[in-house]
């Protein structure tokens, strides 16, 4: 999900919205018990190690997890580890994981990411207190949770040293965690599904906007380019009036306001609802109406209105507040993965003011001196798109602007599939179309090509079936 919305995707376990910066900075958490959006929302807890890399620090914190056992084939069925990402994890979402769990007789376990939701080691999120927030720590959390849960299963069913076959699942950032978990802990899982998995840390992510242009098509792209030009012109002549048009007068820093406008457009393509944006602005352009006014209406009515984005989540003065949980994903952005969505040198759909300097200044302003993303170290540690793991299946939506940070080439042990359709966005293989609001069981009927989604899902099923059987063939010991 400012990083463009990777965030939104982050979680959708409660219709999470992750916007600025990409994976998830603002959240839309709906109540879900009655409508079946969650398979379960019953909380469980266990004591997690704060720092997995220090032999001297033995502090613990309580981490939240969930379990869904309705389809579990006792006692030796598979366990599906559904990884939560950069947002509050309020339960196990009823997406395509439900269908898969029923098919394979699997238990589903889901662990909330450290610091997010109720799993924070600290009440005050100062930069110093955020030092233990990283993907590396999160992977060890998953390993510890997996071992804890396996031991509890064995105790419950009076077994000694038994190992159920485990399989990991994740979407977006949690999709990357799913792939990285298989890479770093291959003995703890039989395989992984990495849906729209952003495994490549990217400093200047110009491919994000290039994909939006491709996904938009010529007419919509032309309208978006003209809107960008109108915004830049209006900004230079009457910034106050322009911000008021979008109900965003509180955003004092130019880049914060311009990022809001860029994210608003990206959301439509990322989450599988391109017509919500393109139809009104193309109609306005063809009719000779005020394009800027049409875009302002879209931002206020759709992005802020029905989608649920919040203007204040773009405000750096708010992000500096150590009680603001929107800081969390920004900290990971500013230390590990960047995903700086910057304007390409030409053919841009966003303001030229949104460059790397804007992002670096934000990191410094919000977190202090010396905070910047070491993307080379991140890609060195995980391999980026050249990830050298095995038994990882990657899936992407053809309209998703995050494709440039995912793995799209296949190899025998790491197959990759792209679901191609008009509204196939982020996590389409697990969520269906559109991705927000949540479609129960990941229903694909609203996708412009349900058969394309179902074809990829069959590939996923085949891989899960094969890799689980290989695990079970080795005495139910994961390899």
Exactly one of 20, 88, 135, 172 is catalytic; name it: 172
List all residues 6 or more positions away from 90 whose beta carbon is below 8 Å from its beta carbon.
13, 14, 29, 32, 38, 41, 117
* Phi, psi (deg, nearest 5) at residue 374: -95, 80
172 classed as catalytic: yes
Please, what sign has the CA dihedral across residues 222, 224, 230, 232? negative
- 12, 14, 91, 422 from 30: Cα distances, Å: 10, 6, 12, 27
Residue 168, exposed/middle/buried by CB under 10 A (0-12, 13-18, 19+)?
A: buried
Name the residue among 435, 411, 470 with its Cα closest to residue 195.
435
List all residues 6 or more positions away from 62 whose beta carbon is below 8 Å from its beta carbon.
45, 46, 47, 48, 119
What are the beta bridge partners of residue 419? 397
Alpha-carbon distance of 407 to 414, in angstroms, equals 9
Exactly one of 400, 416, 429, 478 is catalytic; name it: 400
List all residues 6 or more positions away from 307 whose beta carbon is below 8 Å from its beta carbon.
17, 28, 267, 436
List all residues 6 or more positions away from 60 whose beta carbon is below 8 Å from its beta carbon.
47, 48, 49, 50
Cα angle 277-279-283, degrees, rounded to a multiple of 5: 125
Exactly one of 26, 426, 429, 478 is catalytic; name it: 426
Alpha-carbon distance of 195 to 478, in angstroms, equals 22
Please, what sign has the CA dihedral across residues 360, 362, 365, 366? negative
Cα angle 121-12-43, degrees, rounded to a multiple of 5: 50
400 classed as catalytic: yes
426 classed as catalytic: yes
Local structure of 156: helix, strand or coil: helix
Q: How far is CA 464 from the centre of its chain?
A: 22
Alpha helices in 197-325 (DSSP H): 207-237, 239-245, 254-270, 274-286, 291-298, 316-319
Number of H helices, E strands in the chain: 15, 12
Catalytic residues: 172, 400, 426
């Amino acid at each position: 999900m400012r990083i463009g919305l990777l965030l939104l995707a982050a979680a959708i376990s409660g219709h999470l919205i992750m916007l600025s910066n990409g994976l998830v900075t603002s959240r839309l958490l709906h109540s879900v018990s009655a409508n079946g959006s969650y398979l379960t929302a019953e909380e469980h807890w266990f004591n997690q190690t704060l720092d997995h890399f220090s032999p001297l620090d033995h502090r613990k914190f309580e981490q939240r997890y969930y379990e869904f056992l309705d389809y579990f084939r006792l006692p030796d069925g598979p366990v599906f580890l559904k990884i939560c990402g950069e947002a509050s994890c309020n339960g196990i979402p009823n997406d395509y994981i439900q269908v898969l769990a029923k098919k394979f007789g699997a238990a589903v376990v889901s662990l909330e990411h450290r610091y997010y939701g109720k799993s924070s080691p600290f009440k005050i999120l100062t930069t110093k207190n955020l030092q233990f927030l990283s993907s590396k720590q999160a992977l060890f959390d998953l390993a510890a949770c997996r071992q804890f849960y396996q031991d509890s299963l064995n105790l419950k069913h009076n077994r000694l040293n038994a190992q159920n076959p485990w399989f990991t699942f994740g979407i977006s950032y949690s999709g990357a965690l799913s792939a990285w978990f298989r890479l770093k802990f291959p003995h703890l899982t039989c395989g992984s599904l990495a849906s729209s998995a952003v495994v490549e840390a990217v400093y200047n992510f110009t491919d994000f906007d290039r994909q939006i242009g491709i996904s938009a098509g010529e007419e919509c792209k032309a309208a978006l380019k003209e809107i960008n030009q109108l915004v830049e012109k209006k900004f230079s002549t009457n910034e106050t009036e322009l911000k008021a048009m979008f109900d965003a007068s509180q955003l004092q820093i130019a880049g914060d306001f311009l990022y809001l406008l860029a994210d608003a457009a990206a959301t439509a393509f990322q989450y599988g609802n391109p017509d919500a944006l393109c139809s009104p602005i193309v109609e306005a352009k063809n009719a000779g109406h005020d394009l800027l006014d049409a875009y302002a209406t879209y931002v206020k009515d759709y992005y802020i209105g029905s989608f649920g984005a919040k203007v204040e989540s773009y405000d750096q003065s708010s992000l500096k507040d150590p009680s603001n949980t929107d800081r969390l994903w920004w900290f990971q952005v500013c230390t590990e993965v960047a995903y700086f969505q910057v304007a390409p040198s030409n053919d841009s759909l966003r303001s030229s003011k949104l460059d790397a300097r804007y992002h670096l200044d934000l990191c410094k302003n919000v977190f202090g001196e010396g905070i910047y993303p070491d993307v080379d170290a991140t890609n060195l540690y995980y391999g980026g798109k050249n990830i050298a793991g095995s038994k990882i299946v990657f899936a992407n939506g053809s309209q998703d602007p995050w494709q440039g940070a995912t793995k799209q080439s296949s190899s025998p042990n790491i197959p990759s599939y792209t679901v191609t359709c008009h509204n196939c966005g982020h996590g389409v293989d697990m969520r269906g179309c559109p991705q927000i609001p949540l479609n129960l069981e990941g229903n694909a009927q609203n996708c412009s090509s349900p058969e394309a989604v179902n074809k990829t899902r069959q590939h996923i099923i085949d891989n899960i079936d094969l890799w689980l059987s290989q695990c079970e063939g080795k005495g139910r010991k994961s390899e």
